[in-house]
Structure 1
Amino acid sequence: MTDNECDTVNQVPPYDIPPPVADYTAPPPYDVAANSKLPTYEEVQREKQMEGDDTPPPIPPRPPIAAFVTVESSEAAVDPENGLLGTDVMFLTAFFVAFLFNWIGFLLLMCFCHTVASRYGALAGFGLSLAKWTLIVKHSTELASHENSWLWWLIMAFGVLICVRAVIQYLNIKRGWRLLSGTAQERLMFFY
């Protein structure tokens, strides 16, 4: 090897590394995306109207398969939190189901209905059902003697008290529902 060749072997040629190329197809970094404000739907619609592209895409008409009639109160449509409270129709329906099907209806409603109205309606119906069955048993069997007539009246009064308390509690909760915070509303669902 010659000196000239040794110098070229020992000498490392500088590598030409090009500068990094920006990749515009990748999403922006999190810091940039978190600090940027996206336009609202109304702003985008205004921009489209200003550009003259205000024609919506055509929707092919489809004949209705079935028509359903729904009754929705205006309060439920305005307030999404009203779903936890329920309606008076739910209260009355749960009341009649628990009253007609006794403790089975009460247990099913308490397990499967997740509104304050239906749970209190079930409780009120169960209380009145307890009073109803106390009267039925008292007047149709020989278990009702004069020595324990006070017990029958006590059980019947207890059933009526459960019914009245459930109705009053539901009305109080319904009246103050908007004043309760979200956590207090959820707490009412778990405790009652």
Structure 2
Amino acid sequence: MTRDVVLTRGPVTVRPLRRGDENAWLALRQENRAWLKPWEANTPPGRPIPSSSFPAYVRGERRRWSQGRAYGTIIEFDGVMVGRITVHAIEWGAQCGGSIGYWIAADHAGKGIVPTAVAMLSEYAFGQGLHRLEIALRPENDASQRVVQKLGFRAEGVRERYLFIDGDWRDHLIFALASDEPRNGPFWSPAF
């Protein structure tokens, strides 16, 4: 079951969102609204804005996980919620791939938490049978470029006007890693 998946390496834990996380989640989102605004995708004008209660949001996450469509998790550092990481847009069949998205609270950025979380959730996803993972990031997001470099994701190109972020359609650089490619460095488990 989804709620049983807890991945831990040192002080970093990656686990599914729970109904009891509502207050911490809402506070973290509010505290980091301005920090995340330049990087976080949102609904373009003229499109309906999805809304649901927090319990419905958690149920949707669990449903997508059990259906193998997404692995949505939060990131904790020393037991405190500090961010979010998800493998989403999972396609099975001939592709067996998904995309990784993440964010970290401003006061925890630059501490090696995100590369650790990405490595852990990538290992989990590869263990579930995914062959390929990709990360799309804005060209001006230097911090995310350092994450993919540390983890050995290879550059594949640019998707122009890929996601609607901060009031416009933004280009994204695409980085990918396949399950049969080497994963070396301090963020990867020695078992892989």
TM-score, normalised via structure 2 length: 0.21
Structure whose residues are more often helix by fraction: 1
Give the greater-gyration-radius structure (CA).
Answer: 1
**How high is the TM-score relative to the length of structure 1?**
0.21
Structure whose residues are more often strand by fraction: 2
